[in-house]
């Protein structure tokens, strides 16, 4: 199969990893849950893991490649405060600043 369309994903987070088995037919993700998340790859798509945190979805059908990459991303979308999760390689995670309570004094008498 000659791949013409690619979609790269990066897995961001401490202990988050990806691995493939069965020549790119199964994708396993460790995403901080008590179990591994498993994906069965569609026939028109192949998956490769270059590093434990970089996933490449490749195939001849653009719609199926992007649909599968979106399904993988939706299993752990990026968090808005920490930026952990699965992002597209060219995506920049927009982070919120967080809340600051400046008038807080722990022990007032």
* pLDDT per residue as tens digits for the range 67-95: 999 999 999 999 988 889 999 999 888 88
Confidence band for 104, pLDDT divided at 50, 70 and 90 = low
Residue 81 backbone zone (phi > 0: left; psi -120 to 50: alpha; other: beta): alpha
pLDDT at 84: 92
> What is the DSSP code (8-state) at residue 71?
H
Task: Tell me the percentage of the chain whose pLDDT exceeds 70.
Answer: 91
For 83, half-sphere exposure in the C-beta direction (CA atoms, 13 angstrom radius) is 10
Cα separation of 60 and 78, whole Å? 28
87: three-class secondary structure by DSSP: strand
């Amino acid at each position: 199969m000659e791949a013409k369309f690619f979609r790269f994903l990066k897995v961001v987070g401490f202990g988050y990893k990806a691995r493939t088995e069965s020549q790119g037919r199964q994708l396993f993700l460790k995403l901080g849950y008590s179990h591994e998340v498993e994906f069965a790859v569609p026939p028109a798509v192949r998956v490769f893991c270059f590093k434990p945190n970089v996933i490449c979805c490749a195939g001849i059908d653009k719609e199926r490649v992007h649909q599968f990459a979106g399904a993988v991303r939706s299993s752990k979308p990026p968090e808005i405060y920490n930026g952990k999760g699965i992002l597209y390689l060219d995506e920049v995670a927009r982070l919120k600043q967080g809340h600051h309570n400046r008038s807080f004094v722990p022990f007032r008498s």
